[in-house]
Structure 1
Amino acid sequence: MHIKKGATVSRLLAGVAIPKMFHARQTFDRTRIAPAEIPTVVHAQLSQDAFRSRILPGSQIAITAGSRGIANVDIITKSIVDFVRECEATPFIVAAMGSHGGATPAGQAAVLAGYGITEQTMGCEIRSSMETVEIGRSECGVPVAIDRNAYESDGIIVSCRLKPHNAFRGSVESGPCKMLTVGLGKQRGAERVHSQGMGLIARNIPSMAKVVLERAPVLFAIPCIENAYDETCHIEAILPEDLLDREPELLRYAFTRMPRLIVGSCDVLIIDEIGKNYSGTGTDPNITGTFSTEFASGGIEVQRTCMLRLSAASHGNALGIGLASAITQRIFDDIDPEAMYPNCITSTVLSSARIPCVLADDREAIQLCLRTCTGIDRARPRVVRIPNSLNIGAIMLSESYYADVRSGRYQHLEALDAPCPLVFDESGDIEPMQV
């Protein structure tokens, strides 16, 4: 499908005024672990006897690496690899990402390479396979599968990010338990986790993780948590026997580290770039309010959302576009259904992959959203613009917010300049915001 610029749609949108915008800074707690300190932190965690003693000399140790965008993931992974070698064991990395990467070994290896995780950079073998082993059934009767390479190793180290999920709420959400069941479950295991619908996934993940912890050689987990600036702020090793108790506690902490759009509501949200490196659904609904199911809520209250670009790191997986009101021709042309649809088939959630209104350029995508809003002050529409859902320290706001921001109505939000017109090039596009 190709949108013809200058035809009927363009004529209908030509008179829609886009408000002046100003740059603003949101300030959040910035407790963090500097990248240079990460190897030391990882080493300190794993050097505790309870963890080090589990890595036996000469053993083959599987280390998980997934598809989520994780700050410093290459440094964290390499630090674990180096520690395993220090223990005189042989590390290898397992691509643990469910159905992502097009649900193919090559696709999943390519995703890892995009994050800087290759055999050359890590100094160890990467085993990317979709082959799994059946290891039992959960107490809910769901069959449990796990990556064969990991299962047949002498020990598994679960490395991942721990954070709120984008489609459900539960005692555990995105974290080690999900990595054990969805990530290491590959396409087959991930499909089974989701098979009874998102309404039951909060039950399935911990009950299936219990089976993996009992029957697979899991040594320990070492999840990381990020602050509001997409920076590593916490790394903690957890013994398998403690995981089902400790992960919920860390999830509560992770919620307190989440950023937010401080203004709370808007008429139109502009997202410069979406992608799997930002969220499983392209953009984190905990920030943007664009949830794919009724089993989670939060984020900014918004009437229309437009998405302008797809990240190269997504490899054509544009999952999340179905939650937008409008996307650009640029995103549409970048979609690879073979990379995107396996996620839908596996999760049973189709809404994230539906095609919204496709517009010729950035200007018209924004104009369509403004024109189709209802019950708003058209002379002073409330527009928020973000670079992506991970980096929202620097944002843009329309002039309707300016007086309130300047007066101090919004705590931890300051204006950096005065409202000015957005600058579009001759193609109708705008330069991406600087992160």
Structure 2
Amino acid sequence: MEFPDRDVVASLLDAQPLPSFVRVDHDPSSTTLSEPTTHVRDALARLDLDSLAPGARVAVGVGSRGIHRIDEYAATVVTALTERGFDPVVVPAMGSHGGATAEGQRETLASLGVTETRVGAPIDARMDVERVDEVRVGETSYPVFVASAALDADGVVVINRVKPHTNFSGRIESGLCKMLVAGLGKQRGASAFHATALTEGYVPALEAAFAAISSAVPLVGGIALVENADEETAHVEALSGAELLDREPALLARASEEMATLPVDDIDLLVVDELGKDVSGAGMDTNVIGRYRVLNAPDPDTPRIKLIYARGLTDRTEGNGNGIGLADLTRRVAVDQLDFQKTYANALTSGSLAKAKLPVVAPDDELALRIALSALGSPAPETVRVVWIHDTQELGELFVSSGVVDDLPDTATVTGEVALAFDDGTARFDPR
């Protein structure tokens, strides 16, 4: 893919004076569990495992999200099940992620530290599914699929974080229910769910499919995790299959209170160093950036961000650049990191095509910033509102332009002035 040379792009732009920046520590109050693996073990013990016979095969569903200490939690669950005399097997519950291939899903788990050696159990990454029912939602009927690996088991336990979803809002969003419907549905199940959700609504589609799945699958329950603004575990809770639909809304409300947010709502330019599936299902958390870009789903009211510049992808996303379309601007380095097979598999399954679009591609950081400032109308450097973050999970340390400083909340502390400099067009911040 060819893009205009640097000299060509530079010739189209006037010189743009850059704002001055400061480093900021943002530390809203939060709860962090001590010994979280102990809480996971205790939560598992509260599930009804006595109904399973000795030696029963238990499928442990693990997804593709960058959940804090997920490798430890998966290993803890596997160990506890083994000690009870069961035969656990890890099943990737991630829909189409990993390029919708078994090897890709194994690689995605491995990037999160979840390997057979680490957790002490085999990983059954088959993409095979079985159609267990057809449900009607509004004017739409859609087939419900479940991974054969889950149906072959005697019991199913899923582990997932409950949090606001990146495509919609409702009483149930991202969590155990969605993992069972879209995650354990593999590519076919996730595709059928998303197609219906886009026309009939996400929550009705989730509820209808969950009812079918809970009847078809030997569902023991799940381990629900809630994380705080520091991406650490704030709460662990066991939910039986019968409790999932009723209990998840309360956990979602807590997750909303705990989640990380930007320190200000009105931003001219947000610069994001990295996006990826390990950061958010949408590459960038849409609740943090205020953009869903989904048909029939209005964007969040806040924050209000005029332009977003995404600089690159995380290593752990392994080329899946789903979410790059949420940005207005990127650079050539990010495009070179893209694996279009993985990105398109994700976008086509979810039906959220906008997230896979390529934004304007700049040769480097220096010209990207000049492009952004020009598009903003060349605001004065002392008034332009720029916020620079590593990713939408890591919001504890960030850089802001001088035009933002007076509006920082009490939870944000300026820790020093920095100078924005460039090495062959690549940005860096130097202490002053």
TM-score range, shorter chain: over 0.9
Tell me, in whole angstroms, the C-alpha distance in 2 between the residues paired with 1:431 and 1:283. Answer: 22
3-state SS, counterpart of residue 129 of structure 1: coil
Quick check: 2:420–2:428 contact (8 Å CA) kept in 1?
A: no
Name the residue aligned to 2:293: 292
Tell me, in whole angstroms, the C-alpha distance in 2 between the residues paired with 1:403 and 1:251. Answer: 32
CA positional deviation for 1:139: 4.2
**Unaligned segments of structure 1, at least 5 residues:** none
RMSD: 1.8
Tell me, in whole angstroms, the C-alpha distance in 1 between the residues paired with 2:275 and 2:302. Answer: 16
CA positional deviation for 1:148: 0.2
Tell me, in whole angstroms, the C-alpha distance in 1 between the residues paired with 2:168 and 2:291. Answer: 13
Tell me, in whole angstroms, the C-alpha distance in 1 between the residues paired with 2:350 and 2:407. Answer: 42
Name the residue aligned to 2:7: 7
3-state SS, counterpart of residue 161 of structure 2: coil
CA positional deviation for 1:296: 4.4
3-state SS, counterpart of residue 238 of structure 2: coil
Tell me, in whole angstroms, the C-alpha distance in 2 between the residues paired with 1:274 and 1:356. Answer: 14
Tell me, in whole angstroms, the C-alpha distance in 1 between the residues paired with 2:382 and 2:8. Answer: 24
Q: Give CA deviations for 1:351-377 in whole Å, capped at 9, x if unaligned.
A: 011111000111211221111014955
**Where do 1:367-386 residues align within 5 Å?**
367-374=370-377, 376-377=379-380, 379-386=382-389
CA positional deviation for 1:290: 2.7
Specify the code of the residue in structure 1 equivalent to 2:75: K
3-state SS, counterpart of residue 338 of structure 1: helix
Are 1:272 and 2:273 an aligned pair? yes
3-state SS, counterpart of residue 132 of structure 2: strand
Q: Give CA deviations for 1:115-134 in whole Å, capped at 9, x if unaligned.
A: 11111111110000110011
**Where do 1:111-190 residues align within 5 Å?**
111-140=108-137, 141-190=141-190
Are 1:328 and 2:331 an aligned pair? yes
**What TM-score comes out, normalization by structure 2 length?**
0.94
Name the residue aligned to 1:110: 107
CA positional deviation for 1:334: 1.0
Name the residue aligned to 1:215: 216
Identity of aligned residues (%): 32
4+ residue runs of structure 1 moved beyond 4 angstroms? 374-379
Quick check: 1:276–1:282 contact (8 Å CA) kept in 2?
A: yes
Quick check: 1:169–1:296 contact (8 Å CA) kept in 2?
A: no
Name the residue aligned to 2:427: 430
3-state SS, counterpart of residue 221 of structure 2: strand
1:46 to 19, 38, 44: 44
Specify the code of the residue in structure 1 equivalent to 2:103: A
Specify the code of the residue in structure 2 equivalent to 1:44: D
Name the residue aligned to 1:80: 77
Name the residue aligned to 1:233: 234
CA positional deviation for 1:244: 0.8
Specify the code of the residue in structure 2 equivalent to 1:46: L
Name the residue aligned to 1:33: 33
Tell me, in whole angstroms, the C-alpha distance in 1 between the residues paired with 2:195 and 2:407. Answer: 47
Quick check: 2:382–2:402 contact (8 Å CA) kept in 1?
A: no
Tell which deviates more after alignment, 52-61 or 363-372: 52-61
Tell which deviates more after alignment, 394-403 or 288-297: 288-297
Tell me, in whole angstroms, the C-alpha distance in 2 between the residues paired with 1:352 and 1:298. Answer: 19
Q: 1:119 to 1:402 in 2, by over 3 A?
A: same
Specify the code of the residue in structure 1 equivalent to 2:195: S
Quick check: 1:286–1:298 contact (8 Å CA) kept in 2?
A: no
Q: 1:305 to 1:215 in 2, by over 3 A?
A: same
CA positional deviation for 1:183: 0.2
Q: 1:92 to 1:99 in 2, by over 3 A?
A: same
Residue-pair matches, total: 424
3-state SS, counterpart of residue 127 of structure 1: coil
2:63 to 66, 79, 82: 66
Tell me, in whole angstroms, the C-alpha distance in 2 between the residues paired with 1:212 and 1:90. Answer: 22
Tell me, in whole angstroms, the C-alpha distance in 1 between the residues paired with 2:52 and 2:197. Answer: 38
Name the residue aligned to 2:243: 242
3-state SS, counterpart of residue 238 of structure 1: strand
Quick check: 1:269–1:385 contact (8 Å CA) kept in 2?
A: yes
Quick check: 1:38–1:75 contact (8 Å CA) kept in 2?
A: no
3-state SS, counterpart of residue 42 of structure 1: helix
CA positional deviation for 1:241: 0.8
Quick check: 2:197–2:205 contact (8 Å CA) kept in 1?
A: no
Specify the code of the residue in structure 2 equivalent to 1:306: Y
Q: 1:152 to 1:173 in 2, by over 3 A?
A: same
Name the residue aligned to 1:392: 395
Tell me, in whole angstroms, the C-alpha distance in 2 between the residues paired with 1:374 and 1:201. Answer: 38
Specify the code of the residue in structure 1 equivalent to 2:398: I
Q: 1:109 to 1:24 in 2, by over 3 A?
A: same
Name the residue aligned to 2:416: 417
Q: Give CA deviations for 1:252-294 in whole Å, capped at 9, x if unaligned.
A: 1111111111211110000011111111111101111232223
Tell me, in whole angstroms, the C-alpha distance in 1 between the residues paired with 2:189 and 2:251. Answer: 25
CA positional deviation for 1:202: 2.1
Quick check: 1:292–1:351 contact (8 Å CA) kept in 2?
A: yes
Q: 1:89 to 1:197 in 2, by over 3 A?
A: closer
**Unaligned segments of structure 2, at least 5 residues:** none
- Structure with the higher strand share, 1 or 2: 2
Name the residue aligned to 1:304: 307
Specify the code of the residue in structure 2 equivalent to 1:102: G
